[in-house]
Structure 1
Amino acid sequence: MFVPATRCTQQQTSSDVFSRNTRVVDQIFILCFPNSATFRVLVKCFPQKITTMAKWGEGDPRWIVEERPDATNVNNWHWVEKDATGWSKEKLKELLLGLVVEDETAFCEIKETSKLEGEASANNRKAKLIFFYEWVIKLDWSGHLKAVGDQSQGKKVKGKLEILNLSEEHDPEHVDIEVTTDKNTDEAYKVKEVMRKCGTDVIRKQLKQYVKELRERYSQGIILPTKDGKSAAKEEPKSSTVNKAKQEMNKVINGSSISQSLSLGVKIRTKKLETKEMFECRPTDVYRALTDLQMVKAYCGGESTIEAEKGGRFSLFSGNITGEFVELVPEEKIVTRWRCKSWPEEHYSDVKIHLHDKDGSTELSLSQTGIPESEYEKTLIGWKQNYWERMKSCFGFGARLF
């Protein structure tokens, strides 16, 4: 218990204050200062600083805590958490179910939720807002080709949609969305491509809206106002990088950055590779095998991601092959910037693949420039063993079926 000392007045001297408080000071500080004479010397030298106690409400800087009438969580120092899981589930369903995606060729709609698991919370620590959320979302969708001219409306196509990495570690614009169909037909593929290309941006906007409303709703009341009624909230700054691996995979590759990188190091001697391969299937089948995520995963194995559009990235064979799509002409041509993990850092080759219909079969012509000279044989064998032979074995493209 603190015993308030007497303030000095104009009539009082510091020695008067000292004499009246010596006995009290000895009692309180005897444990801290075994030789109480030491403290009495300090008091005598600095009576106004030591013997005058800080008073509540006078703005004395020695009060290290904020004045709060309710004395609750002073300075918002303690950890406070609000559970937002229940609200989040309802909000995500509200934003995603019934969502329509369409263009001039097809109509798609998200029908129901097959899986919605995860959690969300808002937290306050030292007046900083921190949001945690992580969700695994799987949705069922259906669609059909639109009637065009004399062509009637297409058959109903069903499929699934999975949102892979919705969490505070990823901006909604970077969330990966995987779209699949229940049937492997040309019509189903066309409808799926509309859902993937047009639906990805629409879904990401809805997820961005969810994050916005989560922050607005659960930032209220979690941080107590200061004595002047102002909010002390300081939202935790979010890192602009998702993680190093994803940042490297998503890095935009262009000629200037490559040339700059190479100019800083040793000049790389390169070779050009040209090869042809025959497949006993239509060009559309080979094209899909090289651009459709589910088909690519079937023969690549490991972790693979692919965005089959201009500027889209791909990562195959658990990150051993990465690159970017430069040009895509369905059933005819694929142009990419392509590299192997073992190549010199930031060095990419240019790959051009042409597909030619040969009486029901497909001739694939590949031209690749910029291959490091020491990696030429390995790359040539890699295309043969890891691409062409696996595709033929997996999909039966190596033999004509009667």
Structure 2
Amino acid sequence: MAKWGKGDPRWIVEERADATNVNNWHWTERDVTGWSSDKLKKLLLGVQVEGEAGNCQVTEVNKLVGEASINNRKGKLIYFYEWVIKASWLGTSNSGIKYKGNIEVANFSDENDMDDLDISVSLCKDQPNTSLLHLMKKDGVQKVQTALESYVTHLKSVFTQGMMLPAANGASQSQPSKTQSQIKVNKTQISATVSATAPHVVFSSTEGVRIPTCCFTLKENFLTSAEELYRTFTSQEFVQVFTHSPAVVEGHSGGKFRLLDGTVTGEFTELVPDEKLVMRWRFKTWPSEHYAIISLVLKEHGDETNLKMDCKGVPVGEEERTREGWRRYYFEAIKQTFGYGAQLN
């Protein structure tokens, strides 16, 4: 319970006339049903597939019943959505014959994984059998699932900043909006000062060029489980949310990743679920094919998870830029976006 006059950071009504929900301590909710309905229709109507027998496309969303909302509690965003969807598709054979069919999605909600979605495809009752039905059941279902995944990604990225309310000092917990040029400058113009105590070694790139490198260690605490934190680093959906930009993340050993408009690329070399991530990681400005080796070890203690990062093979002159890049664009961004930051007493 926030205490009046005791310096509790959750209560600053005596300092602010508007009694703002400081530090997002109280439950706030935003209804995004209308936006979701429009977004889902647009994405579904864009579904088209083509095969040897002809082509098919979604022509109408006949039924879209449900709701969606975003909730904020103690700075942590929670997304709720539940939809029943019915749509019509039109197939055209190579000979020009038209076929009509239906698509139904009965269990599209935040409680179900995308792989568990029940997407059924059928022909209308008066339609003769056609190989286009097989095309829709195979490729069409995949395209519908991709459209629904895109909706979830947009939901979490578009409304993330709007739900992060001002903190006690009046500053918003979300990152301020920036122009594209400002974002590019911030990503590339980070101080390149080298720590005088950094141990230097020699590392060979795959092209045989030997360059001096260094290593460093970082430690961070996150107010979340090791499972959630691990998923934040390995799920493309989550990475796109906290980086506020498109990303490619293949969350398996040997999987590639590409973040921040290609500024960062690499490959996961070892993944131990909820415990450890090892990756080959590089800035695109580094010497060609040169990668640092980064290890993230997660240890859960009660309500928080301790992360230890060991980074080896960073080119000399790039240590500070790499260190601050990880702090700013990974650790701080994750804490601000998902509410995994410092806990209030």
Whichever structure has more helix as a proportion of its residues is 1
Q: TM-score, normalised by structure 1?
A: 0.39
Whichever structure has more strand as a proportion of its residues is 2
Q: TM-score, normalised by structure 2?
A: 0.45
Higher RCO, 1 vs 2 (CA within 8 Å, ≥6 residues apart): 2
